[in-house]
Amino acid sequence: MQRLTGLDAAFLALETPSTHMHVMATMVLDPSDVPGGFTVESMRTLIAERLPRLDPFRRRVVDVPFGLHHPVWVEDPDFDLDYHVRRAALPAPGGLDELAELTAEIAGRQLDRRRPLWEMWVVEGLEHGHVAVIAKMHHAAIDGVLGVDLMTEIFDLEPHPQPTPPPETTPSDDRVPSDVELLVGAMTSMARQPLRAVRAVGNLARSAARVVQRVRSGPVSAGVPLTAPYSPLNGVLTPHRRVAFTSVPLADVKQVKQAFGVTVNDVVLAVCAGALRRYLELRAWVPDKALLAAIPASVRSQDERGVIGNRVSAMFATLATQLDDPVERLFAARDVMSGAKLVHEDIGGDTLHEWAEVAAPVLFSRGMQLYERVLEGRHPPIINLIVSNVPGPSFPLFCAGARLVSLFPLGPLLAGTGLNVTVVSYLDTVGFGLIGCREIVPNIGKIADGVPDALGELRKAAENR
């Protein structure tokens, strides 16, 4: 039994029927060299073999009565692999659009908290004889870096690897604790809360002082929550989702990076800004100020690699959608990210984690329910969208002998925010996964269509430099 961290518990408590807090990845595999092909049984066999190393796959959540303290993880005594690994099929030959439509349908349903918080769908019927795996896991159990680490347990570096030795320790046979045991454990843990609260207040005061000093010392470009313009990307969330996928050559991204002396993340943000500007022009609604994006940031140290529990924070950056020139948008992304990183360092990556530790989950849950009933959609947007960029593997991966062809990640939506763009690199491509509220961003494919065009503008400018 292990207690959830405050941030993990917050991700659970913030979830509502419309605000789903799971993350996803849609992966296309080529099974042409696999004898007998790749089936749902192939996936079940592989997961079963590696389950001792996949802690988040075996554990389910048990709530503390009355929501007094963070829930606990326990080994699921009724674990059912067939429930978690499922089969689906598209009318052949299915392309990316059809795969995105199925992914959206799966994304629009909450995970069952009576079981470990994950699902995998093996999808047959894709064009070129490919199959897909749609993976879905609650954010309480995984962050971006841990997700990449889990991929190394499920995927191999060669089609037919040597058997992996069993772990040194075997999973314990937990039983579900009683309400009395949960309450006693909660009271014991909560006895340390006053000290944590004092430490959190002190650290926040010091962080605020550093930020004030930074602002006084000179102008700093950084996004500020609650300064976002009204846009077609914001509104009242429903449970329904739209999904779109697209990819661009990594070489083109690096060409722009080197030509203009910026980072890969700067290029990604500029490409997103360009694609969104085209979309807003189609909607005849281009705000005269930049859109504001939340940028999730990992604060996981090397010593914490593989450790269960979210280690994430957030930065805020403007996307210069009000600018027509693509190079100006790129330099604007560079400047605002430089400022956002400085402010994030001043605030400290542990601030969010500390405050989540001292808050009871019931406060997050009741607060989110009240917000959705009373405030959502009735005030200026806190942010306009979420953009996340996670470095992926630069080497080929294989799953039960099938070669991974493409990878598209998807993140959660927050109340009032109808679009999340998550980006990951794999081999020589950069995959963009876009997920949006069906009613707020019904034609999300138009945004995805603008991504290659936006990068093409920057590449042309780099060539003419």
Q: Are 260 and 333 contacting, i.e. CB atoms less than 8 angstroms apart?
A: no
284 burial type by CB count under 10 A (0-12 exposed, 13-18 middle, 19+ buried) = exposed
- The CA distances from residue 126 to 24, 155, 306, in Å, are 19, 21, 33
Query: Which are the contacts of 378, defined by CB distance < 8 A and separation ≥ 6?
Result: none
The pLDDT profile of the chain, 465 residues, written as one tens digit per residue, is 788 887 888 888 889 999 999 999 999 999 999 998 999 999 999 999 999 989 889 999 998 887 778 889 999 999 999 999 999 999 989 999 999 999 999 999 999 999 999 999 999 999 999 999 999 999 988 876 677 778 888 999 999 887 777 666 666 666 778 777 666 665 666 555 555 555 655 554 555 555 455 555 655 566 778 889 999 999 999 999 999 999 999 999 999 999 999 999 999 999 999 999 999 999 999 999 999 999 988 766 556 555 666 667 788 899 999 999 999 999 999 999 887 776 656 555 565 555 556 566 667 677 777 888 888 888 889 999 999 998 888 999 999 999 999 999 999 999 999 999 999 999 999 999 999 999 999 999 999 999 999 999 999 999 987
Q: Are 30 and 405 contacting, i.e. CB atoms less than 8 angstroms apart?
A: yes
Tell me what pLDDT residue 163 has. Answer: 76
Tell me what pLDDT residue 78 has. Answer: 92
Distance CA 140, CA 123 (A): 26
**Tokens read off for 198:** 């004092």
Q: What is the DSSP string of 330-384?
A: HHHHHHHHHHHHHHHHHH-TTHHHHHHHHS-HHHHHHHHHHHHHHTTTSS--S-S
Q: Which residue has the tokens 């079940």?
A: 44
Distance CA 54, CA 308 (A): 10
Q: Is 139 marked active-site?
A: yes
Q: Are 362 and 70 contacting, i.e. CB atoms less than 8 angstroms apart?
A: no
H-run or E-run covering 86: strand 85-94
- Cis, peptide link before residue 93, omega less than 30° from 0: yes
Tell me what pLDDT residue 432 has. Answer: 98
H-run or E-run covering 421: strand 419-426
Task: Assign 89 to helix, strand or coil.
Answer: strand
Tell me what pLDDT residue 281 has. Answer: 95
Whose CA is closest to 148, among 424, 387, 402, 404?
Answer: 424
Distance CA 329, CA 319 (A): 7
- Choose the catalytic residue: 139, 240, 344, 379: 139
Residue 232 DSSP class:
T
Query: 5 — alpha (psi -120 to 50), left (phi > 0) or beta?
Result: beta
Q: How many of the other CB atoms lie within 10 Å of CB of 270?
A: 29
Q: Which long-range contacts (CB under 8 A, 24 or more apart) does 178-185 make?
A: 179/65, 182/62, 182/63, 182/64, 182/65, 182/72, 183/64, 183/65, 183/68, 185/3, 185/64, 185/69, 185/72
Beta strands at 398-399 and 118-126: parallel, antiparallel or unpaired: unpaired
> Which pTM value belongs to this model?
0.89
Q: Which residue has the tokens 């930049």?
A: 290
User: What is the Cα Rg of the chain in Å?
Assistant: 22
Distance CA 364, CA 406 (A): 37
Whose CA is closest to 140, among 345, 273, 308, 2?
Answer: 308
Q: Which residue has the tokens 């805020």?
A: 316
